[in-house]
Each structure stands twice: as C-alpha cells, then as structure tokens.
Amino acid sequence: MALAVVIFVLVVVTVLFQFIQAVNGDWYFTDIAADWGLIDTTINITLWVTGAVFILVNLFMAYCVYKFRQKEGHKAVYEPENAKLEVGLSAITTVGVIAMLAPGLFVWAAFVNVPEDATEYEVLGQQWQWQFRYPGADGMLGAADTALVTESNPFGINSEDPNGQDDVVVNGPDMRLPVGQPVKALLRSNDVLHNYTVTQFRVKMDLVPGLISYLWFEPTQEGTYDILCEELCGIGHFVMRGSITIQSQADFDAWLAQQPTFAETQNQVAGNAAAGQAQYAACAACHGQQGEGNQALNAPKLAGQQAWYVERQLNYFKEGVRGGDGDTFGQQMTAFANMLTTDQDIKNVAAYIESLPDVPADSTVSGDIANGYDIYDRNCAACHLDDGSGTWYTDAPKLAGMSDWYFVTQISNFRAGIRGLHSSDDYGEQMVAMATAMADLEEIQDVAAYINTLR
Amino acid sequence: MSFFKTITSKPWERKGVIGGLRPEGAFNVPAEKVALVFFLVVATVVFSLFTISYFIRMELPDWQPLTEPSQLWLNTGLLVISSVLFQWARNISGDDSQRNLLSAFFGAGVFAILFIVGQWLTWQNLQSGGYYMSSNPANAFYYLMTGVHALHLLGGLWVWSKSAIRLISGADAKDVRLSIELCTLYWHFLLIVWLVLFAILSNT
Amino acid sequence: MAYVPLADRDHEMEMHHPHSWVTKYVWSQDHKVIAVQYGSIAVFTGVVGLVLSLLFRMQLGFPDTANFVDPNFYYQAVTMHGMIMVIYLLTALFLGGFGNYLVPLMCGARDMVFPFMNMLSVWVFLLSVIILMASFFVGGGPTGAGWTLYPPQTTLAGTPGHDLGIILMLASLAVFIVAFTMGGLNYVVTVLQYRCRGMTMMRLPLSIWGIFVATVLGLFAFPALLVAAVMMLFDTILGTSFFMPAIIEAGTPLDYDGGSPILFQHLFWFFGHPEVYIVALPAFGLVSDVLSCHARKNIFGYRMMVWAIIAIGGLSFIVWAHHMYVSGMNPYFGFFFATTTLIIAVPTALKVYNWVLTLWEGDIRLNAPMYFAIGFIFTFIHGGLTGLFLGNVVIDLPLSDTYFVVAHFHMVMGVSPILVVFAAIYHWYPKMSGRMYHEGMAKLHFWLTFLGAYAIYLPMHYLGFLGVPRRYYALGTTDFIPQSAQDLNATITVAALIVGISQILFFINIIWSLRNGEKADPNPWGAASLEWQTPDTPPAHGNWGDKLPTVYRWAYDYSVPGAHEDFIPQNTPESEEPTVQEEHFDPDQDKSLADI
C-alpha cells in the first residue's frame, strides 16, 4: 500500500522536476550557441517518448500493487502467457524506438558530413592545456607530427611543408571564431586522450594521439564560452580549461592578424644575454648580482629558473595579471617590469638570468619531509617532475633549489586567491586548484622542506 | 530435441516426467568433455581477438613484416607428430595392449615438449638476430601469439604429465581413457590454432 | 568412451564429505559454502568500494572539507570504486555467490560438476582481491586512470598509480578472469549436464536462465579484457607499441610509435558491454523469481522471458561501440551501433512489461523481498529509459562524459542490481540460514536505500543536462554552471551518506538474525521451485539426502485452478501421471557435438 503511494508520488515528483527544470530551471541545457538545434529537437522527442513510457508503466505498476495486494480470500489468476499482448506491446515499443532512432540517425548524418564551405582550424591538446592553429591565407594547415614537438615548435609543425609557414598559431588556451561561419575542428593530441567540449555548441569529440579526429558546427551566438576537457587525461584533467570567443567576422579577422604565424615564431630573435645584462642591473638591487635572491627584500632567487617562465611572469607583472590586490610584494615588481619596454627586452633579461650560475638557495623552511614527499609525489610531480626541475611542456617552473620561502608565500597566495585568479593567468588558475592538495601552512612547509631535498 | 523446439515449448502445458528413467545432460558426453569444449571456445575467442588486433595493428603505417625463421617448419612437424601420436593413443586406448598405449601417449608428450623447446630456440635466434619485441609491432605480435600458444600447450602438458604418471604407475587404461581422449582433443585444437597462427604470421 | 549416466555417479558425489571445521568451512568443496565465501569476499570488497565513493562524494559535495582527498586520491578513489563495484562486487556476487548457491539447488544436482575446481575458483578470486587491495599499499598507490584504463594515459607520469598501481590492477584482472573461467565452466556445465530427472531446460526457473546466459557471456567476453590487459602489460613492461602511439610524457618523447589507443577501447568495450549484461541478466532472473513467488502468480510470459534473455545476451556483443561515439573512431560506425543499441530496448522493455503483468491480477504479498523487487522495476525503468538517450548516437554528443552518463549507469547497473541483491538475499535467507530475517528492519533498509538512491541519481541527471563534466575533482569557475549546481552536489552527497550508512542495517539484520531470527519453515514463502524442497533446511552437503529429486512440472505453478494450495512444488507428481514415460534413447542424436 505504502509502496504504491510512494511510486505514484515518485512519478509525480520526477515529472514535476523535469517540467520545472525544462521551463525555467537552473539545471537544464545551456542556451544553444551553435546551429545544432536538431540535437535539441531529438532530445525533446526522446524526452516525450520515454516520459510517456515512464509515467504509464509506473502508474500501472503502482495500480497493480495497490489493487492486487494480498487480501483474505483473494486468489491470483493463473495465466501463463498472453502472446498477443506481448507481441503487441513489443510492436508498440518498436514503433517508439523507431520514432526516436530515425531522427537521431538523420541528425547524426548531418554531423558526420561536414559542409563544403566549412573552414578548418586545429585544436591541439596536451597535458593539461589547449592550443590552436588556423590555416592562414592559403586555407591549408601544414603537416605536423608529435615527433617534431619542441619548446619553440609546440605544434610539431613540419618546417619543410610550405602550407605550414603561414599557419597562425595560438600558443594559449583562448581561441576565437567568426559567427555564422561553419567550421571544422581538426583534433590532435600530443600525449593522451582529451575531449574538446564546448557545452553551448552541443558537440564534442575525443582528441586521440596518433590520429586526427574532427567535429563541425556553425556558431550562431556571439559571446565567450568555456572549453572543457571531457575525457579523463590525468591528474590535471579538471584544470584543463580554455575559452572560445565568437565574434563578428571583422573582429575575428582583426584578432587573427595580430597572432603570429608559424614562420614568425620560428624566426624570432633569441634573447641576448649580453644585452640583458645591462637591463638586469635594476633587478640586481633586490634579486642580487648572481640572481641569488634576498629574502629580506622579498626577492626570490632567479638564477636557474627557466627562461620561458621568467618571460611569462615579467609580462604578467607588466599587464597587471600579477601584483594585484593583496599581493604587496608583487606590486613592487610592476614598476620594475614596466622598465622593460619591449618583448625583446624581456627576452634578453630572461636569457641573462638563464646564464647565471645556479647555486641552490639556502634552506629556510623546515617541515615533515615524509609528508611533504607524499603530497609532492602524488600531486605536484606530474607537472613539476620528480626532481622538481619543471618543464615548459606542462607550464611548470623549476622548484628544486629555488627560494623555499618564496614557494611558501606563492602557494599561500594561490590558496588565498591572491594569485592565479586573474582571467588572463591561464596557468595560475590550474595552481589555484592544485594548491588545495596542501591543506594548511604546515603542509605547504612540509612540501617546501621536501623540495629542499631535491637540489 | 532441437534447440529451437526446446525453447519454443510451453513448459506449463506438459506435466510429468519428461525424458527417461535417468537424468540426462543436454549433450550425450561426459561433463568433462562439455567443459573442455567450452574452454576451447573461450581459447578460440582469445586467439581470435589477438588475430583481429594483429590485422588492425597491421594497417597502421609503422608496420614492418617479420620474416619468420624457417625453423618454424620443423617445429610444426614436431607438433603434428605429437598430435598424431595422441590420436593413435586414443584409438588404442580401448585395446588390451598397454605397451603401445604407453609409448604412444608418452611419445606424444615428448614431441610436444620438443615443439616448445623448438619455439624457445626460435625466440633465442630472433633475439640474437636483433628482432626485439619493442622494435616493431610485428615482432611483438610474433612473441605474444606464439607465447600464448606455448602457454596453452604447457597447461595441456601438466594434465598430460598427471595422466602419464598414472599410466606408468600401472593404472588401468580404462581409468585414464577419458583423460587421453580429452588430451587428444585439446592437442588437435592447439595444432589447428598453431597452423592458423603460422599461416597468418608467415603470410603477412 | 562410454557415456556415464549421471545416476550412476550418484555415489561418487559422496567423495568429499568434510571431516573437520577447516574442510567444512575453509577448504570446502560444497557449493553452498563456496557461495557464501564468494559472496562474503565480494561484499567486503564492495564495502571498500562504497567507502571510496563516500570519500570522493565528500570532495564533490563539500570541496576541501575532507583534506586527504587531494586530486591524486580523488582519481584513485573514482577508479577503484568503479572497478570494484563492476567486477569484484557485482560480477562475483551474482555469479560466484548466487550462481554457486542456486545452480545446483535449482537444477536438482548434488553439487557443481567439478567441486574441486569450484573451490579453486573462490581461492583464486580471493587472490585477485588481495592483489587489487595490495595496490593501495604500494608506492604511488592504486591506479587513477578511470575504471576504463584507457591508454596511453594509464601508464604516463601524469596519472596516479601509473607504475605499480596499474600493473597490479591488470594482474588482478587477469587472475580474476582465471577464477571466473573456472567457476563459469562449472555453472554452465552443471546447468547443461547435471539437471535432475524431469528438469528440462524450459522447466528451469528464470534465475538459472539469467545466470546461465550471463556466464556464457562472461566466458566469451572476459577473454577480450584478458587480451587487452596482456597487451597493455606488454606495452608497459616490455616497451611494445600495441596501444601506444608516438607521444610525449612531460616534455620527453617516449619510445613508442604507431600504436592505436582506439584498439584498446574496442577490446575493452567488447568485454565491457556484455559485462553490463553479465550483471543485469542474473538480476533479471532473480527478480523474476522473487516477483512471481510473492505475487503468488506464475511469471508472465515465461517463454518470451527466456527468449529475451537469450536475445539480450546475443545482442550485447554487437553494441559495444556505443561507448565510443565520441572516441574519435570512424563516425560512420555510429549508425550501426546506435541501431543495434536501440534494438536491445525491445526485448528489455518486454521483460519490464512482463514483470509488471506478473503483478496484474496477482495476490501480492508485500514483504521486504517484494519491496526490493518492485523498487528494482521502478529504478530499472528509469535507468533503461535514460539509456535510450545515450544509445541514440546524436544525443550522446552533448551528454557523453557528463554526469548524465554517471546517473544513467548507476541507475541501471548500480542501484537496480543492488536492489535485486537485497531482494534475493532476504528472499533466500530463510533457506540459507534456517532463520527468518527481521522484517521491520529490512523494510526500513528498503526505504532508506530506495528513496536515498533516487535522491542521489535523479538530480544527477540534471547536472548532466546542464553539462557538468564527470571525473572533475573540482568544478572551478565556468560561465555556464551556476552556483546552485554546488547545492545540488551537496544534496547528492548528503543522500549518498545516508544510503551508505543505512547499509549497516542490512548487516545488522543478517548477522543478528543468524542467531536470533525466528526459526524458518523449510518453505516459508510457499515457493514452487526446487531449491525450497530440500529435505534439510539449510540444505546439507549433497543437498538431497538419499535420493535425487524428480521434477514433474515447471517452476511457476502458483495459484493453479483447482489445486489445494496456491502453489505446487516442482517435485510434486500429478495424480493421473503415467508412472514413467520412457523416451527412447537414441545415441545417434547430437552426434555432432558428441564427436567433437
């Protein structure tokens, strides 16, 4: 009896919940931003068909439980089968299945066959970030190969291929597309499986190392949307984020023209350490002649840090990505970073710092090394490597032999939201999430103490 | 009764004992044999999946076919002799003469051991010739598939050795007859698997 | 080789009568003891899986309150939870537990065909569990690659447990498959060859049909997992490139080239999809018998239920790639696999209709097993219908890899089979223990589990609609997930905690009732099937005393018009029965199989 009532109530609750969400709910499909309304239609057809079955069968069952519950003097009816009824029900089910499947296959055919006028772009995934490539004026993407990937050629573009020279490369997680233009995304991975998902576009597809997969869509709404990785790709899976901005063709063209081509990235002048030495003079006041750092002045050790990281941080200070509210010491850097007026200046300084002798910094932090090892090995080593040397590939700076007190303040800043939450700090956001692996100051110090053993 | 007839019958209509005075299995053979046949099907699935993987992997660009060593022909001969001896042992296992049975059954196992030794030598030769497992998927598949086959054979030899010991220690041929029959069936199966593997490996 | 009739072997079955406590309860070859051993190990492992799920649910519902759930542990917990529940709990419990207990009893056999191999099976299973659990204690911990273990990720530095953890996982699976094969051959051959006199295949209860077909599926599907595991072990340990293409690990190119990660996925799901039915078919069978018995009515449409089991089993081998719609495989496969997948809905729906029609005009006894069985129908309808979304390839595009998938498969192969497990345990408890369980506690257990589980998974579907991705340690900030989604997550976690803790009721009930439960009649439910007709309760070693039973009718003679009682046991002869109906035995029949 109670069971019959409960099943009835559950049916009502389920239907109401669906109804409320579908009409005006927080937890329902996002507003669609691509020309895939057909997918939503298919979903709605399926919702109606399955909803009807759900209501009818469950209410019938609730009725049976109520009506035929055991009573004195009542006896069940002996009826081994009713082939007609069973065949009839199967036939109705088949009709329902066809009603759902047929439109589904029709829409799938539209997804599989890319329209002729779709323009191509490439999505490259690697642990744990996105990069993008546009074909340039010739409309053709150059050949690329994982074996050719280096720090200066992160796409592994074959420099022999003339099609590749004018490819526009976006070495960061933010991409753009023009509205109203069908596009075909070619998906490639440098390491593991990833999945390129923009929820508002409704379509997604895995990136598979060793082959090129694809999907296509036509953006219909201008705006900026999240790109999420939706295929488990390792410990950083949940921080593998990007964004896509849909804008007018003119805005898009203007943006694209500002991005470097592959040829330009290959022909960039390398940092000149000799030129950088002069500019480093201003840095030396705090960071020391040999870049050894000075805790009293809150200046971390620089010598030994990888050039790409130094460059990126200097740019961040210049652009106000770092040194914002709450970061009192970081704010001091802004003025100094602004002294480096051109990109080349920054490169030169970074090159000079790289040339300085790398003497491990003194240990100033102590803690439980065993616990520190445990946390580091489980969560940090995936990017910063087992020996703490860091790598451009995962955008992880060197930690071993660097200033341990600086590590403690920066992790504390990440945890407090002082660093990493700026919308342009694409990689800092990953650290905000990962820093939660250290529960409190004590654990941060444990990890610092462990890193001190890695020099 | 055919399978179709069985599952379309209406069990509620017919009461009473169906069948003879004794309970009957679905198949008129010992349970051990039914189990072995099922196991052979399972093993077939294993080898088929390796083979399908082999063909799929072959389509990918880095494949370099492996030239199978000619010694494999000799090994194949050994396994054929082993299988023939098993068949012979099975055929005479109903006879009274224990002597021939013992030599046939014993010889069958010895030839199977020789086959495995031969396979082992082939691996050694390939290794010393620089055909390492990690250098090419064709090599890897060769080692993997021949290895899995040899492993199945070793499992068979374990059963064979138990029966051989019973035979030597003077057990009645009747008691080991089922064991001989099942060994024979198993060996024929592994011979066929080997022939198919050999054909696939050497033709691709 | 002469055919040895089973009756002549009757005395041989007496071989292994236990002589001491150790041979009776530890190294036992009695299928009933082995069943309890299998079940206990599986349930113990399942409790580990349950605790893991509560831990990572804490992180999802209340981020950063449980400090030790760091990203690393989160992925390890998610992975181990999935693998434990699917393989080590459900597969082992349904086939090793219920299969072992019920197959000989329902078929009218004294034991399994190969009792020694059966005993070996349970110990090898224990070994696989030990290897699995060992991975929690090795350096790097258990694998965190997701229960699907997709390469290349599984063995790369960015994945938790990428060194020892994954090797132990694969080794444990290989050992489990050996155990399963030993057990599985036993169940299949026992059903085929060791049925008692008069027990035709079509007189078998649906429980046996479900277990039988599921075992056959397992025997054919597990090899795919074995093959995939072996090849992955080769890739990991020996540096081959079966699945590994040219890739970069943390900036360093690895020595792999040309392998196909998608090949692994095909192998995995060629096992993985039948695996769903390896769990579901026994559940279908068991619930059919519980429903029929407590509705005091034959299972409606027995023949079509059998056909549906066979059809579902067969179809389950040609739908595997519906797990791979967005995997980057050739998208044209989508047409085929979407069609086959939705075809499966027809026999499955028929089963649901027949369960409900079994209730129609029944005399429904609403006790705890029946509560769980009816609860199962409800959750299974829900889970089955959401499967139609995901199976329809184009709807899978937005929903794949979101919480909708998680909600769907938990509903259909988590909650539903577990409800059947409880229904079955309560239903057969009087026969297994000779005591009644506590009805009130069992009903309370039902309400908390059933309503709690629905409170977990109904809202979870809507997180999926919204597009919240699964396998995220933390959501961080996005533009489309509102803050209120976190409230939903917190609600789900609270419900999960309630459901998790309420399982204690179940354990208290079955342990307490062992000593303090009311003494049970040999056949307290008035059930018609054979396992309730044993001379002893609980059944003694050998099950049937001196003489094997003879079966005169099908397993569902409930409320037969004109009968004195509302059930007629399978071994009750009909008065007008001709004494023995001799059928001529023709050895030439089935020659083809006999001579293989």
State the CB neighbour count (10 A cutoff) for residue A42: 26
For domain B32-62+69-203, give the CATH number: 1.20.120.80
pLDDT digits (tens, 9 = 90+) for A141-181: 999 999 999 998 999 999 999 999 999 999 999 999 999 99
Q: Which of A84, A2, A77 is nearest to C358 (CA)?
A: A77
Q: Check residues C22 and A191 and name the one with the higher pLDDT.
A: A191
CB neighbour class for A70 (10 Å; exposed up to 12, middle 13-18, buried from 19): middle
Determine phi and psi for A324, rounding to 5 degrees.
Answer: -90, -155
Structure-block tokens of residue C76: 């390890």
**Rounded-to-integer distance, Cα A388 and Cα A455, Å:** 8
Q: Decide if A422 touches C, using CB distance below 8 A.
A: no
Strands (E), C247-359: 248-249, 252-253
Residue-wise pLDDT tens digits, C403-430: 999 999 999 999 999 999 999 999 999 9
- Touching check for B15 and chain C: CB below 8 Å? yes
Contacts of C378 in chain A (CB under 8 A): 7, 10, 58, 61
Q: Where along chain B do its domains lie?
A: 32-62+69-203
The Cα of B21 is separated from the nearest Cα of chain A by a number of Å equal to 28
Higher pLDDT, residue A338 or C128: C128
Q: Higher-confidence residue: B60 or C47?
A: C47
Contact C345 A147 (CB under 8 A): no
pLDDT of residue B101: 84
The 10 Å Cβ neighbour count of residue A88 is 12
Min Cα distance A233 → chain C (Å) is 6
How far apart are the C-alpha atoms of A81 and A89, rounded to whole Å? 13
Asked if pLDDT for residue C576 goes beyond 70, the answer is: no
A80 touches chain B (CB under 8 A): yes
| Touching partners of A (3+ C-beta pairs < 8 Å) | B, C
pTM: 0.93
* pLDDT (0 to 100) of residue C2: 34
Give mean pLDDT, residues C356-381.
96
Which residue of chain A has the CA closest to B62?
A210
Q: Kindly tell me if the per-residue pLDDT of B115 is higher than 80.
A: yes
Q: What is the pLDDT at residue B167?
A: 84
pLDDT computed for residue C595 by the predictor: 34
Q: What are C328's two structure tokens?
A: 């980057």
Closest CA to A226 of A245, A207, A205: A245
Q: Which residue in C has a C-alpha nearest to residue A28's C-alpha? A: C466
Where is average pLDDT lowest: B20-24, C185-189, C228-232?
B20-24
Cis preceding linkage at C549, omega within 30: no
Please tell me the distance from the alpha carbon of residue C156 to that of residue A191, in angstroms, as a whole number.
Answer: 9
- Min mean pLDDT across A123-137, A383-397, B160-174, C370-384 is at B160-174
Q: Model confidence over A260-283: pLDDT tens digits?
A: 999 998 888 888 888 888 889 889
The 10s digit of each residue's pLDDT in A286-331 is 999 999 999 999 999 999 999 999 999 999 999 989 988 888 888 8
Q: Rounded to whole angstroms, how far apart are CA atoms C416 and C383?
A: 8
The residue extents of the domains of chain A are 2-68+82-112, 119-266, 273-452
Give residue C577's identity as a one-letter amino acid code. Answer: E
Query: Is A325 within 8 Å of A413 (Cβ atoms)?
Result: no
Chain B contact set for A80 (CB, 8 A): 10, 12
**Mean predicted confidence (pLDDT) in C480-496:** 94
Cβ neighbours of C479 in A, within 8 Å: 224-226
Say yes or no: A77 contacts chain B, CB-CB below 8 A. Answer: no
C574 with B16: Cβ contact below 8 A? yes
Compute the average pLDDT of residues C309-320.
95
A22-51 residues touching C, CB cutoff 8 A? 25-30, 38-39, 42-43, 46, 49-50
A231, closest residue in chain C (CA to CA): C401
C67 chain-A contacts, CB cut-off 8 A: 439
Q: What is the pLDDT of residue B92?
A: 84
Q: How far is C375 from chain B (nearest CA, A)?
A: 28
Residue C267 has pLDDT above 60, yes or no: yes
| C143 vs C79: CA distance, rounded Å | 7
Q: DSSP per residue over C108-132, as a string? A: T-SS-S-HHHHHHHHHHHHHHHHHH
Interface contact B17-C270, CB threshold 8 A: no
How distant, in Å, are the alpha carbons of B94, B166, C324 from that of B173? 8, 9, 55
Displacement of CA B42 from its chain's centroid (Å) = 12
The lowest-confidence range among A122-126, A408-412, C486-490, C575-579 is C575-579
Q: Cβ–Cβ contacts within 10 Å for residue C541, how many?
A: 19
pLDDT of residue C578: 39
Could you count the other beta carbons within 10 Å of the beta carbon of residue A90? 17
Q: Given the DSSP bridges, would you call strands C252-253 and C248-249 parallel, antiparallel or unpaired?
A: antiparallel
Which chain B residue has its CA at the smallest distance from A83's CA?
B10
Across the range A226-253, mean pLDDT stands at: 95
Q: How far apart are CA A119 and CA A181, in angstroms?
A: 8
Rounded to a whole number of angstroms, the distance from the CA of B12 to the nearest CA of chain A is 7
Tell me the pLDDT band of C17, cut-offs 50, 70 and 90.
Answer: low
Mean pLDDT of chain B: 88
C320-339 residue pLDDT tens: 999 999 999 999 999 999 99
Sign of the torsion formed by the C-alpha atoms of A138, A140, A146 and A151: positive
CB-facing half-sphere around the CA of C571: CA atoms within 13 A:
18
User: Which of C138, C206, C247 is best to mutate for the A interface (most A CBs within 10 A)?
Assistant: C247
> Can you list the domains of chain C with their CATH numbers?
32-473+481-574 (1.20.210.10)
Q: Which residue of C has its CA nearest to B53?
A: C263
CB of B15 less than 8 A from some CB of A: no
Give the model's pLDDT for residue C7. 40
pLDDT at B1: 52
Q: Please, which residues have CB within 8 angstroms of residue C444's CB and are 6 or more apart in sequence?
A: C502, C505
- Contact call for A108 and C157, based on CB within 8 A: no
Beta bridge partners of A133: A122, A169
Q: β-strands A241-247, A174-178: how paired?
A: parallel
Cα maximum dimension of chain C: 84
With a cut of 70, say whether residue C12 has pLDDT above it. no
CB contact under 8 A, B63 and C258: yes
CB-CB under 8 Å, C590 with B28: yes
Nearest CA to C304 among B21, A3, A88?
Answer: A88
The pLDDT-based confidence of C13 (bands split at 50, 70, 90) is very low
Cβ-in-10-Å burial (0-12, 13-18, 19+) of C69 comes to: buried
**Mean pLDDT calculated for residue range A216-240:** 95
| Residue C596 confidence (pLDDT) above 60 | no
pLDDT at site B172: 74
- Whether residue C385 and residue A239 make contact (CB cut-off 8 A), yes or no, is no
SS3 A215: strand
Across the interface, of C72, C146, C566, the residue whose CB is closest to A379 is: C72
Cα–Cα dist B35/C190, whole Å: 9
Residue-wise pLDDT tens digits, A48-70:
999 999 999 999 999 999 999 99
Span C171-207, pLDDT tens digits: 999 999 999 999 999 999 999 999 999 899 999 999 9
Model confidence at C432, pLDDT cuts 50, 70, 90, reads very high
Pairwise CA distance, residues A179 & A219, whole Å? 5
Lowest pLDDT segment from A72-81, B60-69, C34-43, C513-522: B60-69
Residue B86 is encoded by which pair of tokens?
């098993």
Count how many pairs of residues, chain A against chain C, have C-beta atoms within 8 Å. Answer: 376
pLDDT score recorded for residue A27:
93
SS3 category, C567: strand
pLDDT at residue A220 tops 60: yes
Q: Return the minimum-mean-pLDDT range out of A444-453, B86-95, C366-375, C582-591.
A: C582-591
**Among chain B residues, CA nearest to C265:** B53
What is the distance between the terminal CA atoms of chain A, rounded to a whole angstrom? 72
Residue A24 — pLDDT band, cuts 50, 70, 90? confident
Query: Does residue B87 sit at the C interface (CB-CB below 8 Å)?
Result: no
* Interface contact B34-C587, CB threshold 8 A: no
- Check residue B18 and give its pLDDT: 77
Tell me the CATH number of domain A273-452, given options 1.10.3720.10, 1.10.760.10, 1.20.140.10, 2.40.40.20: 1.10.760.10
- How close C542 comes to chain B (CA, Å)? 16
**pLDDT score at C18:** 60
State the pLDDT at residue A271: 82
Burial C437-469 (b: 16+ CB within 10 A, else e): bbeebbbebbebbbbbbbbbbbbbbbbbbbbbb
User: How many CB atoms lie under 10 A from the CB of residue C502?
Assistant: 16
On whether any CB of chain A is under 8 Å from the CB of C469, the answer is yes
pLDDT higher than threshold 90 for residue C1 = no
Least confident of A405-409, A415-419, A444-448, C297-301: A415-419
What per-residue confidence (pLDDT) applies to C8?
42
Query: Is residue C158 helix, strand or coil?
Result: coil
Q: What separation in angstroms does the CA of C118 have from each of A23, A185, A193, B110, C258?
A: 57, 54, 41, 31, 43
* A294 DSSP 8-state letter: B
- Residue among C346, C388, C467 whose CB faces A50 most closely: C388
Q: Report the distance separating Cα C271 and Cα C217, nearest Å.
A: 9
Percent of chain A with pLDDT over 90: 78
- Give the gap in angstroms from C-alpha A264 to the nearest C-alpha of chain B: 32
> Nearest-CA distance from C176 to chain B in Å?
15
For the sheet containing A183-189, what is the strand order? A168-170, A129-134, A119-126, A183-189, A213-217
Q: What is the pLDDT of residue B97?
A: 67
Q: Are C219 and B38 in contact (CB under 8 A)?
A: yes
Quickly name the fold that domain A119-266 has.
Answer: Immunoglobulin-like (2.60.40)
Report the distance separating Cα C253 and Cα C256, nearest Å: 8
User: Per residue in C464-483, pLDDT tens?
Assistant: 999 999 999 998 888 899 99
Q: How many CB atoms lie within 10 A of CB C100?
A: 30
- Number of neighbouring beta carbons within 10 Å of residue A182: 16
Task: Please compute the mean of the pLDDT values over residues B108-115 and round it to a whole number.
Answer: 94
Residue from B1, B3, B5, B12 whose CB has the most chain C CBs within 10 Å, to mutate: B12
Confidence band for C16, pLDDT divided at 50, 70 and 90 = low
